[in-house]
Structure 1
Protein backbone atom coordinates (compact mmCIF):
# COMPACT_ATOMS: atom_id res chain seq x y z
CA UNK A 1 0.00 0.00 0.00
CA UNK A 2 1.22 3.47 -0.84
CA UNK A 3 -0.16 6.66 0.73
CA UNK A 4 0.06 9.83 -1.31
CA UNK A 5 -1.67 13.14 -1.90
CA UNK A 6 -4.95 13.17 -3.80
CA UNK A 7 -4.70 14.03 -7.51
CA UNK A 8 -7.64 15.02 -9.70
CA UNK A 9 -7.51 11.80 -11.77
CA UNK A 10 -8.37 10.04 -8.46
CA UNK A 11 -11.70 11.87 -8.12
CA UNK A 12 -13.98 9.24 -9.71
CA UNK A 13 -12.32 6.42 -7.74
CA UNK A 14 -12.64 8.43 -4.50
CA UNK A 15 -16.32 9.14 -5.21
CA UNK A 16 -16.90 5.42 -5.84
CA UNK A 17 -15.09 4.57 -2.59
CA UNK A 18 -17.08 7.13 -0.56
CA UNK A 19 -20.28 5.73 -2.06
CA UNK A 20 -19.31 2.09 -1.36
CA UNK A 21 -18.37 3.02 2.22
CA UNK A 22 -21.70 4.80 2.78
CA UNK A 23 -20.14 8.27 3.09
CA UNK A 24 -21.47 11.47 1.62
CA UNK A 25 -19.62 12.56 -1.50
CA UNK A 26 -17.75 15.85 -1.26
CA UNK A 27 -18.71 17.83 -4.38
CA UNK A 28 -15.95 18.76 -6.80
CA UNK A 29 -16.35 22.52 -6.17
CA UNK A 30 -15.86 22.05 -2.42
CA UNK A 31 -12.71 20.03 -3.08
CA UNK A 32 -11.37 22.74 -5.38
CA UNK A 33 -11.65 25.23 -2.51
CA UNK A 34 -10.17 22.75 -0.02
CA UNK A 35 -7.21 21.93 -2.26
CA UNK A 36 -6.25 25.60 -2.60
CA UNK A 37 -5.79 25.70 1.19
CA UNK A 38 -3.99 22.50 2.22
CA UNK A 39 -3.74 19.91 -0.55
CA UNK A 40 -1.14 17.94 1.42
CA UNK A 41 -3.89 16.91 3.88
CA UNK A 42 -6.09 15.08 1.37
CA UNK A 43 -4.60 11.60 1.13
CA UNK A 44 -5.35 8.40 -0.73
CA UNK A 45 -4.12 4.90 -0.01
CA UNK A 46 -3.32 3.11 -3.20
CA UNK A 47 -3.18 -0.68 -3.52
CA UNK A 48 -2.59 -2.85 -6.56
CA UNK A 49 -6.37 -2.72 -7.10
CA UNK A 50 -6.49 1.10 -7.11
CA UNK A 51 -7.68 3.57 -4.49
CA UNK A 52 -8.27 1.55 -1.32
CA UNK A 53 -8.80 4.35 1.18
CA UNK A 54 -9.04 8.10 1.56
CA UNK A 55 -8.79 10.65 4.33
CA UNK A 56 -9.64 14.33 4.09
CA UNK A 57 -7.96 16.51 6.67
CA UNK A 58 -7.66 20.25 7.12
CA UNK A 59 -5.82 22.69 9.34
CA UNK A 60 -7.06 26.17 10.19
CA UNK A 61 -3.90 27.30 11.98
CA UNK A 62 -5.32 26.38 15.36
CA UNK A 63 -6.85 22.89 15.06
CA UNK A 64 -6.55 20.03 12.67
CA UNK A 65 -9.69 18.25 11.57
CA UNK A 66 -10.25 14.80 10.16
CA UNK A 67 -13.34 15.30 8.06
CA UNK A 68 -13.66 12.13 6.04
CA UNK A 69 -12.03 8.70 6.41
CA UNK A 70 -13.20 5.83 4.25
CA UNK A 71 -11.80 2.47 3.23
CA UNK A 72 -13.04 0.20 0.46
CA UNK A 73 -15.28 -2.33 2.28
CA UNK A 74 -13.53 -5.19 0.46
CA UNK A 75 -10.14 -4.05 1.81
CA UNK A 76 -10.94 -3.33 5.45
CA UNK A 77 -9.03 -4.79 8.42
CA UNK A 78 -5.70 -4.45 6.60
CA UNK A 79 -4.36 -1.38 8.38
CA UNK A 80 -5.34 1.03 5.61
CA UNK A 81 -7.35 3.39 7.83
CA UNK A 82 -4.67 3.40 10.54
CA UNK A 83 -1.99 4.07 7.93
CA UNK A 84 -3.92 6.99 6.49
CA UNK A 85 -4.53 8.50 9.92
CA UNK A 86 -0.89 8.02 10.90
CA UNK A 87 0.31 9.85 7.78
CA UNK A 88 -2.25 12.63 8.23
CA UNK A 89 -1.18 13.06 11.87
CA UNK A 90 2.47 13.22 10.76
CA UNK A 91 1.66 15.95 8.25
CA UNK A 92 -0.41 17.94 10.74
CA UNK A 93 2.36 17.67 13.33
CA UNK A 94 4.83 19.03 10.74
CA UNK A 95 2.53 22.06 10.31
CA UNK A 96 2.67 22.72 14.06
CA UNK A 97 -0.86 21.52 14.73
CA UNK A 98 -1.38 21.15 18.51
CA UNK A 99 -4.68 19.19 18.47
CA UNK A 100 -6.79 17.20 16.03
CA UNK A 101 -10.58 17.03 16.17
CA UNK A 102 -13.04 14.78 14.40
CA UNK A 103 -16.69 13.86 14.61
CA UNK A 104 -18.20 10.40 14.93
CA UNK A 105 -21.92 9.79 15.10
CA UNK A 106 -22.87 8.29 18.46
CA UNK A 107 -24.45 5.18 16.90
CA UNK A 108 -21.27 4.34 14.94
CA UNK A 109 -19.92 1.87 17.49
CA UNK A 110 -17.15 0.47 15.29
CA UNK A 111 -16.05 4.01 14.40
CA UNK A 112 -15.98 5.02 18.05
CA UNK A 113 -13.89 1.94 18.91
CA UNK A 114 -11.50 2.61 16.01
CA UNK A 115 -10.85 6.23 16.95
CA UNK A 116 -10.47 5.43 20.63
CA UNK A 117 -7.94 2.70 19.75
CA UNK A 118 -5.86 5.45 18.11
CA UNK A 119 -6.02 7.65 21.22
CA UNK A 120 -8.89 9.94 20.22
CA UNK A 121 -11.07 10.60 23.23
CA UNK A 122 -14.76 11.55 23.22
CA UNK A 123 -15.56 15.03 24.51
CA UNK A 124 -18.83 16.35 25.89
CA UNK A 125 -18.92 19.18 23.34
CA UNK A 126 -22.21 19.92 21.68
CA UNK A 127 -21.91 20.33 17.95
CA UNK A 128 -23.83 23.13 16.28
CA UNK A 129 -23.97 23.57 12.53
CA UNK A 130 -25.50 26.07 10.14
CA UNK A 131 -25.75 25.40 6.41
CA UNK A 132 -24.62 28.38 4.37
CA UNK A 133 -26.92 28.20 1.38
CA UNK A 134 -26.23 30.33 -1.67
CA UNK A 135 -28.43 33.39 -1.88
Structure 2
Protein backbone atom coordinates (compact mmCIF):
# COMPACT_ATOMS: atom_id res chain seq x y z
CA UNK A 1 0.00 0.00 0.00
CA UNK A 2 1.22 3.54 -0.69
CA UNK A 3 -1.31 5.69 1.13
CA UNK A 4 -0.70 9.40 1.66
CA UNK A 5 0.07 10.29 5.25
CA UNK A 6 -2.69 11.86 7.33
CA UNK A 7 -1.48 14.71 9.55
CA UNK A 8 -3.32 15.34 12.82
CA UNK A 9 -2.85 16.54 16.39
CA UNK A 10 -1.23 14.17 18.85
CA UNK A 11 -3.51 12.27 21.26
CA UNK A 12 -2.27 10.32 24.28
CA UNK A 13 -3.02 6.90 22.72
CA UNK A 14 -0.32 7.88 20.16
CA UNK A 15 2.42 8.07 22.81
CA UNK A 16 3.78 4.53 22.32
CA UNK A 17 3.85 5.04 18.55
CA UNK A 18 5.64 8.37 18.96
CA UNK A 19 8.25 6.65 21.15
CA UNK A 20 8.80 4.08 18.39
CA UNK A 21 9.24 6.81 15.75
CA UNK A 22 11.70 8.69 17.94
CA UNK A 23 13.67 5.51 18.64
CA UNK A 24 13.71 4.39 14.99
CA UNK A 25 14.94 7.85 13.98
CA UNK A 26 17.68 7.77 16.62
CA UNK A 27 16.10 10.46 18.80
CA UNK A 28 15.88 10.57 22.58
CA UNK A 29 12.46 9.84 24.02
CA UNK A 30 10.68 12.71 25.72
CA UNK A 31 9.34 11.41 29.05
CA UNK A 32 5.56 11.40 29.48
CA UNK A 33 5.67 13.94 32.34
CA UNK A 34 7.78 16.39 30.35
CA UNK A 35 5.49 16.04 27.34
CA UNK A 36 2.37 16.50 29.51
CA UNK A 37 3.81 19.74 30.92
CA UNK A 38 4.57 21.00 27.39
CA UNK A 39 1.09 20.13 26.12
CA UNK A 40 -0.56 22.39 28.70
CA UNK A 41 0.60 25.39 26.66
CA UNK A 42 -0.09 24.54 23.01
CA UNK A 43 -1.25 20.97 22.35
CA UNK A 44 -2.27 21.85 18.78
CA UNK A 45 1.44 22.16 17.91
CA UNK A 46 2.28 18.50 18.50
CA UNK A 47 1.50 16.68 15.26
CA UNK A 48 1.68 13.11 14.08
CA UNK A 49 1.58 11.59 10.61
CA UNK A 50 -0.22 8.30 10.07
CA UNK A 51 0.44 6.20 7.01
CA UNK A 52 -1.03 2.77 6.36
CA UNK A 53 -2.52 2.78 9.90
CA UNK A 54 0.97 3.26 11.36
CA UNK A 55 2.47 6.27 13.06
CA UNK A 56 5.12 7.30 10.55
CA UNK A 57 6.23 10.77 11.65
CA UNK A 58 6.03 13.34 14.40
CA UNK A 59 6.87 16.98 14.99
CA UNK A 60 6.69 18.95 18.20
CA UNK A 61 6.28 22.71 18.04
CA UNK A 62 5.94 25.36 20.70
CA UNK A 63 5.04 29.06 20.69
CA UNK A 64 6.06 31.40 23.48
CA UNK A 65 3.98 34.34 22.23
CA UNK A 66 6.91 35.82 20.34
CA UNK A 67 8.62 33.00 18.42
CA UNK A 68 7.66 29.55 17.30
CA UNK A 69 10.08 26.68 17.70
CA UNK A 70 10.18 23.44 15.75
CA UNK A 71 11.43 20.61 17.93
CA UNK A 72 11.84 16.88 17.43
CA UNK A 73 10.90 16.38 13.78
CA UNK A 74 11.27 12.67 13.11
CA UNK A 75 10.09 10.23 10.44
CA UNK A 76 10.45 6.47 10.77
CA UNK A 77 13.15 5.39 8.28
CA UNK A 78 10.69 2.93 6.67
CA UNK A 79 8.49 5.90 5.68
CA UNK A 80 11.08 8.44 4.55
CA UNK A 81 11.33 10.08 1.13
CA UNK A 82 7.55 10.33 0.81
CA UNK A 83 7.10 13.98 1.82
CA UNK A 84 5.96 13.24 5.37
CA UNK A 85 8.47 15.57 7.06
CA UNK A 86 7.65 18.42 4.68
CA UNK A 87 3.92 17.96 5.22
CA UNK A 88 4.36 17.91 9.00
CA UNK A 89 6.36 21.15 8.85
CA UNK A 90 3.87 22.87 6.52
CA UNK A 91 0.95 21.97 8.81
CA UNK A 92 2.89 23.18 11.83
CA UNK A 93 3.69 26.47 10.03
CA UNK A 94 -0.02 26.90 9.26
CA UNK A 95 -0.84 26.42 12.94
CA UNK A 96 1.86 28.91 13.94
CA UNK A 97 0.39 31.46 11.53
CA UNK A 98 -3.07 30.93 13.05
CA UNK A 99 -1.59 31.82 16.44
CA UNK A 100 -0.07 35.03 15.04
CA UNK A 101 3.48 33.73 15.22
CA UNK A 102 5.77 36.07 13.20
CA UNK A 103 8.90 33.85 13.03
CA UNK A 104 9.83 30.21 13.52
CA UNK A 105 13.19 28.97 14.78
CA UNK A 106 14.80 25.55 15.01
CA UNK A 107 18.13 24.04 15.85
CA UNK A 108 20.22 21.80 13.61
CA UNK A 109 23.59 20.34 14.50
CA UNK A 110 26.17 21.95 12.17
CA UNK A 111 27.52 18.59 10.99
CA UNK A 112 24.07 17.31 9.97
CA UNK A 113 24.37 18.22 6.29
CA UNK A 114 21.28 16.28 5.23
CA UNK A 115 19.10 18.08 7.79
CA UNK A 116 20.55 21.46 6.82
CA UNK A 117 19.69 20.76 3.17
CA UNK A 118 16.15 19.71 4.13
CA UNK A 119 15.50 22.85 6.19
CA UNK A 120 17.03 25.16 3.59
CA UNK A 121 14.80 23.61 0.90
CA UNK A 122 11.85 24.66 3.08
CA UNK A 123 13.15 28.23 3.35
CA UNK A 124 14.91 28.07 6.72
CA UNK A 125 18.26 29.81 6.63
CA UNK A 126 21.19 29.24 8.99
CA UNK A 127 22.07 32.15 11.26
CA UNK A 128 25.42 32.75 12.91
CA UNK A 129 23.88 32.65 16.39
CA UNK A 130 25.64 30.93 19.24
CA UNK A 131 23.54 28.50 21.22
CA UNK A 132 24.03 28.70 24.95
CA UNK A 133 22.42 26.16 27.24
CA UNK A 134 22.35 25.48 30.95
CA UNK A 135 20.59 22.60 32.68
CA UNK A 136 18.49 23.70 35.63
CA UNK A 137 18.76 21.36 38.59
CA UNK A 138 16.53 20.94 41.61
CA UNK A 139 19.37 22.29 43.76
CA UNK A 140 18.69 25.81 42.50
CA UNK A 141 14.91 25.67 42.81
CA UNK A 142 13.45 28.79 44.41
CA UNK A 143 12.95 28.81 48.15
CA UNK A 144 10.70 30.83 50.39
CA UNK A 145 13.61 32.12 52.49
CA UNK A 146 12.78 29.75 55.32
CA UNK A 147 15.14 27.03 54.13
CA UNK A 148 12.42 25.06 52.32
CA UNK A 149 12.24 24.67 48.55
CA UNK A 150 9.12 25.90 46.80
Q: TM-score, normalised by structure 1?
A: 0.98
Q: Partners of 1:130 and 1:27 in 2: how far apart?
A: 19
User: 3-state DSSP class of the match of 2:128?
Assistant: coil
**Among candidates 56, 64, 80, match of residue 60 of structure 1:** 64
| Unaligned stretches of 5+ residues in structure 1 | none
Q: Which residue in the other structure is 2:41 paired with?
A: 37
Alpha-carbon offset, residue 76 of structure 1: 0.3
Confirm or deny that 1:108 pairs with 2:112. yes
Distance 2:23 2:115 in 1: 17
Q: Secondary structure at the match of 1:37?
A: coil
Q: Distance in 1 between matches of 2:32 and 2:105?
A: 24
Instruction: For residue 67 of structure 1, give the secondary structure of its aligned residue in structure 2.
Output: strand
Counterpart for residue 12 of structure 1: 16
Aligned to 1:78: 82
**Which whole-Å CA distance do the structure 2 matches of 1:13 and 1:69 have between them?**
14
Q: Please, which moves more after superposition, 45-54 or 79-88?
A: 45-54
Which of 93, 96, 99 lines up with 1:92 in the alignment?
A: 96
Question: How large is the Cα RMSD of the aligned pairs?
Answer: 0.7
Runs of 4+ in 1 over 6 A off after TM superposition: none
Structure 1 residue aligned with 2:50, among 46, 53, 68?
A: 46
| Structure 2: tracts of 5 or more residues without a match | 140-150
Deviation at 1:49, TM superposition (A): 3.9
Deviation at 1:31, TM superposition (A): 0.5
TM-score by length of 2: 0.88
- Secondary structure, counterpart of 1:46 in structure 2: strand
Q: Secondary structure at the match of 2:138?
A: coil
